[in-house]
Structure 1
């Protein structure tokens, strides 16, 4: 969902003035007058308003209510999120709803990389090969030490869903992450709110576990170039690792709040943390 860091417009109020006498007959009428007095054009039309109130209280209230409904509609239209008109790629397959009773089958390393060629190589060589293999490809990749991934994996089980802010020209867009097995699916929050579990993905990050005996996990992320560029995809991947590796107590608390104490979770805390991360 594209969510800009916006502040509501401060509606200017009139300074203290001498108001004409109004004949209020109910609390509702008093509130209506109070609303009118906040209008910057009130003083100009105060005499006409007072006359209408005296001669036709019912018509006066009808006009006030109509104006109030119109103002509310204008406000909703002004601050409603912009529709997501981006054309999502068909490369990333829609995910299925997470069901604990159903096994999740992850992609195999052999589907993209011949493990037989690296089986007898040292860990450092494998890391170099993996990095070279992805150079020039429009994907993100990483080699994660097994002990680090064990911590990340434990948090993935406990907190399978989370949010990450992504800097945009008009503010920040929140991206929803969902864990299925060893795969992390990223979806714009706005798209998820509209399409739920069938929302198109903007990034799919797979952790390949075939080389655990070498003490490493290979990660590869494919992103939708209509929605993200390489730097933005890497930003999401970096945030995911930082939040899930338990090395930052503040971020660990936010992770727990989102799942276990949502009433105390604040989106602005995520933006604050992002602005303090050195890779931005």
Structure 2
């Protein structure tokens, strides 16, 4: 039967084995910055534990004499209490380990479901992108019926055709599109900011020929090069030389992006790639060729300056 002091001493022995020794922050290997200057460095925290010395226990000084006396006079009893301490420690660690494993399994299941959904979206949008690449202006318009029409008449027909569809469309003057396209050859990517109620959502736009593919920055961070296109702006330069215009329409995933948001991103393409203002286009050059100097806040400032910020109303091209 233990007296009160023996009970406190046993508690002191038990506490020695349960002292926690903090955490260590280590940069996780295999994680790279997908968008330089935007994606923050990621860290993983590891628990660091070690067996404390008896003398480190805060109760040691108070019970040192009794511990030493018990150890010398009743070594078997001392060893038994040490064994009980280890057993209690093993039970505590076992329970903690089980809870940790259950938590990890739950997180893994959630991640698995998210990845499955993203991959399904990737397959669907990849099929959409393939159909878009194979689509020609002749598959939309009867080229024979518009051959004798003026550029203004063709533009009116194009905008009327898409006015009842859940997408965006535009008629771009040939000179402006030539500037946009020539810049897309040397600066294929840019970071766009989509105004939301509580701030901005960032999208990455990447040119592929006469198509401009958009996906959210969150997708890029999660899936990298497998991130699905959520919006594709398709440009048709077939009439550029003869009629002096380029026709544009879009393929979008309505689950992730609205027509209003698609229009906002399309307007930003003209703002950043079709501008004559050097300070504005310099942001695109910096993003592509000097990423370490790029600041996403500069994009937000330019949107505010141009009127395409959160207060902007939906507009046509």
TM-score, normalised by the number of residues in structure 2: 0.58
Report what 1:201 is aligned to.
Answer: 229
* Greater helix share, structure number: 2
* Structure 2 residue matching 1:247: 3-state secondary structure: coil
Report what 1:260 is aligned to.
Answer: 289
Report the CA distance shift for 1:171/1:192 in structure 2 as closer, same or farther (over 3 A).
Answer: same
Larger relative contact order (Cα-Cα within 8 Å, sequence gap ≥ 6): 1
CA RMSD of aligned residues (A): 3.1
1:207 Cα deviation after fit: 0.6
CA contact 2:122–2:226 (8 Å) conserved in 1: no
1:121 and 2:149 equivalent?
yes
Report what 2:249 is aligned to.
Answer: 220
1:66 and 2:95 equivalent?
no
* Structure 2 residue matching 1:137: 3-state secondary structure: coil
1:95 Cα deviation after fit: 9.0
Report what 1:12 is aligned to.
Answer: none
1:196 Cα deviation after fit: 2.5
Report what 1:275 is aligned to.
Answer: 304
Report the CA distance shift for 1:110/1:92 in structure 2 as closer, same or farther (over 3 A).
Answer: farther
1:19-34 mapped onto 2 (5 Å cutoff): none
Larger Rg: 2
1:13-52 mapped onto 2 (5 Å cutoff): none
1:155-166 mapped onto 2 (5 Å cutoff): 155-166=183-194
Report what 2:165 is aligned to.
Answer: 137
In structure 2, distance between residues paired with 1:277 and 1:90: 36
1:230 Cα deviation after fit: 1.0
1:168 and 2:201 equivalent?
no
1:138-153 mapped onto 2 (5 Å cutoff): 138-153=166-181
* Structure 2 residue matching 1:192: 3-state secondary structure: helix
1:250 and 2:273 equivalent?
no
* Structure 2 residue matching 1:221: 3-state secondary structure: strand
1:276 Cα deviation after fit: 2.0
Report the CA distance shift for 1:90/1:225 in structure 2 as closer, same or farther (over 3 A).
Answer: farther
TM-score, normalised by the number of residues in structure 1: 0.65
Gaps of 5+ in 2: 1-15, 26-43, 46-110, 313-317
In structure 2, distance between residues paired with 1:267 and 1:186: 17
1:67 Cα deviation after fit: 6.3
Report the CA distance shift for 1:91/1:257 in structure 2 as closer, same or farther (over 3 A).
Answer: same
1:111 Cα deviation after fit: 2.1
Number of equivalenced pairs: 204
Report what 1:9 is aligned to.
Answer: none
1:93 and 2:126 equivalent?
yes
